[in-house]
Structure 1
Amino acid sequence: MKLTEKKRKDILDAAVREFREQGFPAARVNRIAELAEVSKRTLYKHFESKEMLFQAITDVLLEEIATVPKLHFTPEVPLREQLVAAVKDNVAHLTAEHYMGLNRLVMSELLRDQDLAQAFLAKAAAQDGPVTGLISQAMQAGALRQAKPGFAAGQLLAMAKHFLVWPEFLMGAKAEVDPDAVIADCVDMFLAHYGPEG
C-alpha cells in the first residue's frame, strides 16, 4: 500500500472512531487528524471538509455491500435450500461487528440529514444484491412466479432482519429466537407467496 493510500485509510479509520464517539455534529477535524497521526493540512489534502470525509465513509459502507459475492440459482439444488443459505449469509454479513458499527455510524447521520439519506439510498438501490440476483434467476427459470425481484428480495430480507438484525442494531443484543428456525419460516412464507403459478 502506498504511503498516500495508507494515510487516507488512517484518516478514514480515525474519522469512523471520532464520529462513533462524538457523533457527526460534535466530531472535530483536529481530533481526527490527531488520531490519524497526520497534520490537519494532510487531512484536508485528502478530504476537503468534514462532510466530504463522512461521504467517503458512506462510500466505504456501499463498497462493503457491493463486495458480497453474487449468488447464482442452481436448478439441481432445491430452491428452499438456496434461499435459506442466502438469507443466513446476508444476516451474518449485516451482523458482523465491523459492518454493524459502520452501519450504525452511517445510519445515525442519515436520520439527521435527509439530503444525505436520499443520496445514499439512491446509490444503494442501484446495487443488485446477491439475494435479489438469486431470486431474479429463479424467476427466469420458472422456479418462482414472475414479480419484481428487488421487491420480492426486500420482503424476504425484511422478515429476517426484523428478528435477527434490528434487535442487535438498535439494542446491541441478539433477539432470543432460534435464527435457523426464523430463517426457515421466513423462506417458507416467501415460497408460499412466490411459488410458481399453476
Structure 2
Amino acid sequence: MTRAPDPTPAPSRLTDRKRAAILDAAIAEFRATGYEATSMDRIAASAGVSKRTVYNHFPGKDALFAQILETMLERAHAQADRPYRPDAPLRAQLLDVVRAKLRMIHEADFIDLARVALAACMHSPDLARDMMARLGTREAGLVTWIRAAADDGRLDIADPAFAATQLESLIKGVAFWPQLTLGQPPLGKARQNVVADEAVDMFLARYG
C-alpha cells in the first residue's frame, strides 16, 4: 500500500511528527477500507498513537478526511498550475497546463481518494458541499490562466469560469470520470497526449 508523497520536509517537532503519522495512516485506511469502514480507532492504531492524540489534532473523521483532500489538492494543483506568459506560444502553454492536469489525475493517491470522497459524499450532503467548495477553489488556477489570456487579447472569452469548466470536461470526461466511476484503467502516456492535443485544439478552435 503506497502512501501519498509528502511535499514538505520531515517535521521536526514531536507534535508535527504525530500529525504527519496520523495523516499517513488515515490515507492508507481510507484507501484500503473506504470512508464508512474507517474509524478513528483504526487510524490511531495504524499511526501508533492514542485515540486522544488523534482527536487533539482533528475533531472528527470528516475534518480529518477534509484535511487529507485539502493537502492532496494543494500538492496536485501546485504541480499542475502554470502562470500565463504573454511572450510564449498560446497552444504550447495551454498544452502544458492540460498535460500537467492529466499527470495529476493519474496519480494513484488522487484517483483512490477521489473514489473514497465520491462514496463519502453520497452519504453526507454537508461533506459533499464542503468538498465541492474546496475543489472549486483549487480549480481557480485554470480560470486565472484563461482570464489572463483573454485580457491579453489572445482568447475571445466573455466568461473564463465557464470556459474553464468546458475544458475540464473535455479532459475529465475521458481521463477521470470513467476511471473513477466505471473502473476503467488509467490512460497510458500516449493516450494522455492524444487527449491533451484534442482537448486543446477543440478549445482553441472555439475561443482562439
Give the TM-score normalised by structure 2: 0.82
What is the correspondence of 1:121-132 to structure 2 with a 5 Å cutoff?
A: 121-127=132-138, 129-132=140-143
Does the CA-based 8 Å contact 1:167-1:175 persist in structure 2?
no
RMSD of aligned alpha carbons: 2.2
**Contact 1:20/1:105 (CA < 8 Å) preserved in 2?**
yes
Q: Which runs of 5+ in 1 are unaligned?
A: none
How far 1:95 sits from its partner (Å)? Answer: 1.0
Of 84, 101, 113, the match for 1:90: 101
C-alpha displacement of 1:120: 1.9
Q: How many residue pairs were aligned? A: 195
SS at match of 1:150: helix
After TM superposition, list the pairs within 5 Å mapping 1:69-84 onto structure 2: 70-84=81-95
Return 46-55 or 34-43, whichever deviates more.
46-55
Give the structure 2 partner of residue 161 of structure 1: 172
| Contact persistence 1:136–1:149 (CA under 8 A) | yes
2:199 corresponds in structure 1 to 186
1:87–1:183 contact (8 Å) kept in structure 2: yes
Give matches, 1:40-55, under 5 Å. Answer: 40-55=51-66
CA distance 1:114–1:61, change in 2 (3 Å): farther
1:65 CA drift (Å): 4.5
Matches within 5 A, 1:3-152: 3-68=14-79, 70-127=81-138, 129-152=140-163
Structure 2 unaligned spans of 5+: 1-10
**Contact between 1:132 and 1:149, CA under 8 Å: does it hold in 2?**
yes
Question: % of aligned pairs identical?
Answer: 35
C-alpha contact (below 8 Å) 1:164/1:175 kept by paired residues: yes
